[in-house]
Amino acid sequence: MAPIIKIAIIQFMPKPLDLGHNFGLSTNYIRQAASLGAQIAVLPEYHLTSWCPDEKGFIEGCRESMGYLDKYRELASSLGINIVPGTICEVHPSGESGGDTKDVEIRNMTYFISGDGDGGIGEIVGRYQKKNLWHPERPHLTAGDVSSKHEGFEVEESLPKWEEDGKSIRVGLLICWDIIFPECFRELIMSESGVDIIIIPAFWLLNEDFGEVEEGRIKRAQEKERKMLEGLVWTRAYENCCTVCFVNACGGSMVAGAGVFESEPMGVGQEEEGCKIVEVDLEEDRRLEGRYKIREDLRKMRRGK
């Protein structure tokens, strides 16, 4: 058996390069989530800077945003809540960024911060650099090492353990466009103790014109995009027998999986702001695996049996 996990999905459209405002909004929602008993709070991709790489102050904003990681670590410890602070764009010395400045590279990073840190600061138990960049990101960001495998991690102290075997809940991290690639998810579940939860901060625009001009065609394109995205989240959850938490700045945030009690996406088609607590019974994912045996078959294939 597994206890019920409460995940807070925090959805808002960040103001471009207004880090103070965006951080204040984030912390208010995280405090609200903690007061409602959430064990994990998840923010969207680019939640501090927004995605505005052509703005004059973007690189400096990314550089400044690196200092907020420790603020989230302190908040996690003080509230006793695990925090995934969306993504933080980090500026590092390099000659291979591919952007306008050749002396730095920008890495789009996400972290899992434990809520049980000693000394008043939460421990970073997981981190991930976005590997699969959407094509408009490629001139500006440096992708993570695509030759390395996606790896999950155990959350040993700040989440309950499985009752039947005493094992810790395992979590994996991906970012936005990664959801298009099923291989990312397969790597996270293929080990003998694959992940139970996959968390995906995103900045996926749902209200663009998608290259259309006529109003009716724009609306149809938007509706198809929403349906595609919702279908992807649920498909990735069921085909991997795990829980997928997708938190999007631009609408449609959701938690999907066999053990999800609330299945409606948050703010589909709207740039709706808010915090929603979703309860998940992870035991239902194990039951789903017992019915489908997807992970078992994948491990047999890997061993050549």
Per-residue pLDDT of 135-175, as tens digits, reads 999 999 999 998 898 999 999 888 988 888 888 999 999 99
Model pLDDT, residue 192:
66
**In the chain, beta strands by DSSP E:** 4-11, 40-42, 82-84, 88-93, 104-113, 124-129, 153-155, 169-173, 197-202, 243-248, 254-256, 274-281
* Tokens linked to 113: 């911060």
Q: Of 114-128, 223-237, 239-253, give the lowest mean pLDDT range.
A: 114-128
Higher-confidence residue: 26 or 270? 26
In this structure, which topology does domain 4-303 adopt according to CATH? Answer: Nitrilase/N-carbamoyl-D-aminoacid amidohydrolase (3.60.110)
pTM of the predicted model as reported, rounded to 2 decimal places: 0.94
Instruction: Provide the pLDDT confidence category of residue 97 given band limits of 50, 70 and 90.
Output: very low
pLDDT for 218 equals 86
| List of residues 6+ apart from 237 with CB closer than 8 A | 243, 244, 256, 257, 258
Percent of the chain at pLDDT above 90?
A: 72
Contacts 24+ apart (CB under 8 A), 285-292: 285/196, 285/241, 285/242, 285/243, 285/257, 285/258, 285/259, 286/2, 286/241, 287/258, 288/238, 288/241, 288/258, 289/241, 292/241
Share of the chain above pLDDT 70, in %: 92
Q: How far apart are CA 127 and CA 298, in angstroms?
A: 25
* 37-80 residue pLDDT tens: 999 999 999 999 999 999 999 999 999 999 999 999 999 999 99
Beta-sheet strand order (sheet of 197-202): 153-155, 169-173, 197-202, 243-248, 254-256
The predicted structure's pLDDT at residue 99: 47
CA contacts within 13 A on the Cβ side of 284: 14
Mean pLDDT of 116-130: 89
- Locate 157 and state its tokens: 């102290």
- Cα 267 to Cα 33, 38, 72, 174: the distances in Å are 18, 20, 25, 21
Token duo for residue 37: 């008993």
pLDDT digits (tens, 9 = 90+) for 198-233: 999 999 988 877 776 788 888 888 889 899 999 999
Determine whether 290 is exposed, middle or buried from the number of CB atoms within 10 Å of its CB (0-12, 13-18, 19+). Answer: exposed
Domain locations along the chain: 4-303
Mean pLDDT of the chain: 91
pLDDT confidence of residue 163? 81
Element (H, E) at 226: helix 215-239
Provide the CA 130 distance to its chain's centre, in angstroms: 11
CA 27 remoteness from chain centre:
17
Instruction: Say how far residue 21 (Cα) sits from the centre of its chain.
Output: 21
Q: What is the pLDDT, as a whole number, of residue 107? A: 97
Could you tell me if 3 and 280 are in contact, meaning their C-beta atoms sit under 8 angstroms apart? no
